Amino acid sequence: MMDETDEARLVALLDNQLDEEARRAIEARLAAEPELRARFQTLAAGGLPFAQAFESALAEAPVARMRAKLDAPGGAMARSSPRRRWAGAAAAAIVLFGAGWAGGRYVSPPRPLAPMASADRDTWRDAVASYVALYTRETFAGGARDEAAALARLSQALGVALTPDTVALPDLTFKWADMLAYEGAPLGQIAYLDSGSPVVFCIIRNRQKDAPIKTETREGLAIASWAHDGRGFLVGGRIAPDRATQLAGMLASRF
């Protein structure tokens, strides 16, 4: 079961403030603990009600107690430093540390933080790329979930007809489907394995204007994205850019 110290470690991971040993330890737990992984994804996707929670969270934050835990032997993490990104991570950091604008996003060393996208619509792609960069084959070791039931839940939230047939892709094995959120917009994720390498298909219902497929690299991942009918779509993973574009083309023809 998660406690406040676990929450602090997730925020520090997002802010790239853990030392190597602590980072490896929390990454191992993320791969093995679904509850912890789900909480990390929520923080990474910016799904917290930041604006509404700011004042009450700051007033009620257990500053002394959290500082004592962070300073205790074995704490092995540094306090967050101010950054401009990740409103969700910032809100969590304020609750935990009780002071300042804190936040950031995790990137796997030695890659530096990429400049923040100039267009608001791009930030959700940045969010997805940041947490998918953490995925490994072991992330999916628990086996596939009930595909039809999981897709039905996503279909209702996203307003898109998702079925095992419409999301099937050549040489990819379905593993799970999750419902996330990004700045209040529902964000569905379907995860696959491609010869052992994680690949995701994401849909966000954010009133995005129609846009053709474009392929780029974010966080070391090939990302192919497009928009249609008020929704943004994305295919990404550690695959060749041409492969990402090919998969995106197949899915774009169905949605």
DSSP for 64-115 reads: HHHHHHHHSTT--BPPP---S--HHHHHHHHHHH-SS--------TTSPPPP
Dihedral angle, C-alpha 237, 122, 127, 161, nearest 10 °: -70
- What is the average pLDDT across 82-86? 38
Residues 178 and 126 in one domain: yes
pLDDT at 64: 53
Can you tell me whether residue 223 is helix, strand or coil? strand
Q: How far is 216 from 117, CA to CA, in rounded Å?
A: 13
Residues 143 and 232 in one domain: yes
pLDDT at 15: 72
User: What are 112-134's pLDDT values in tens digits?
Assistant: 333 333 344 468 999 999 999 99
Residues 92 and 130 in one domain: no
pLDDT at 143: 61
| 82, pLDDT greater than 60 | no
pLDDT level of residue 65 (50, 70, 90 thresholds): low
Residues 25 and 79 in one domain: yes
Domain of residue 198, residue span? 120-252
Residues 81 and 43 in one domain: yes
- What is the average pLDDT across 209-228? 96
Q: Residue count of the chain, please give it.
A: 255
Q: Which two tokens stand for residue 112?
A: 């530096």
Phi, then psi, of 205 in degrees rounded to 5: -100, 90
- 72-86, 99-113, 144-158: least confidently modelled range: 99-113
| Residues 175 and 199 sit within 8 Å (Cβ to Cβ) | no
Q: How far is 27 from 10, CA to CA, in rounded Å?
A: 10
